[in-house]
Structure 1
């Protein structure tokens, strides 16, 4: 004997009843959403802080590492002729994945203050003697971009100490050479053997996305060089593919 079907009475609920029902029914989802919201608030709070980052390096070693890396990745780089940067595993790996190198190369931060501590090591050698000397070069610089730090900024004011100031920054390499030329006691027979530099910077993250990516990269680094190189290489490739896709869509729009 077939059972009779009962027509369900349509229930019309007021907005506040729907809200109460939803909260009761999706309690697990609400917990997840609350956790996500809490995490976002924590991240927003953390990027309000100023952090100190640093990188120690020998410029000659950096140049050699990058040149070798470009040679090894010639095929990869050739696939993306529009790329504005070299692969990250090269440019960051050259600095042994130090925190300031990560944040600068991936554009995670604004630098509020740059502190440069470097030493220029000189040598002079002839058939009679081998002479070595060193010249310190230390500067504290105001806020400027990484590009300006390397290439120069005309309108910045720099404290030189002892009440002396100067206007303008010619870029790191140029300023080092200018400092060396100011020491007249070293004649042209002296050549630069190498330069050792430590850069410390007071920085702030530009947004939570940048901060989260920085933390991910640090996690890769903590897992070892092989993981860091693999993941940074993959990150660079993803960015280039996204750029190509966007460029392709742009051409289609124009057409």
Structure 2
């Protein structure tokens, strides 16, 4: 999103990667220490394919990632006749969902990956190039930035991070399923836009994205505590995305409206004080 692209394939990619991991551990017998790096490689390659089609094939990222969403879910269903694969490896859950000094390990993974993302976006050349490409691709070309390379790189990174999500999901449930990751792409987009990222690209903040993700989780937990069905949760998620994008698109108009209201209120208050005096 920071680079003015969008990836709708993350949920389906999670499902596909969990099934590939399950196949390797359960049926092929590949040790966990080798299976996990292979999942990262596959995730990166899947992201690379989407990136190449988008950047060098000049196909809009919405179309390439939408096609990937359908294709990846279909590929996931080809494994094990479309049925989930259970009891993968007893070491999976302790490695990824154990505790360190009494704190669950996912908390440390969260801090590590967000800190890494913040460092890349704020202190590296790649981060600056991503913002530049998202803000104005034509101007980025004039400054010597390889726009296509940057766009492709963002999808590779997205694939690698999706692999992390797939591994964590497999570890939590000790299984792989072609049904995992449904609506995950919408949650990711919602977290970004609620955190202030512009769908037009060029603007966004990693810490704000974390706040956006926490907001989505809090809303979902609140709905779960109130026994709201998944259909209602999807409606709420859609409304949140619509509101966040609307605020982003109408930012200038809202700013002008608020400024006008404040000035009018201030002038009315001054007039009232004059009459009273």
- Give the structure with higher Rg (CA): 1
TM-score calculated relative to the size of structure 1: 0.26
- Richer in strand (by share): 1
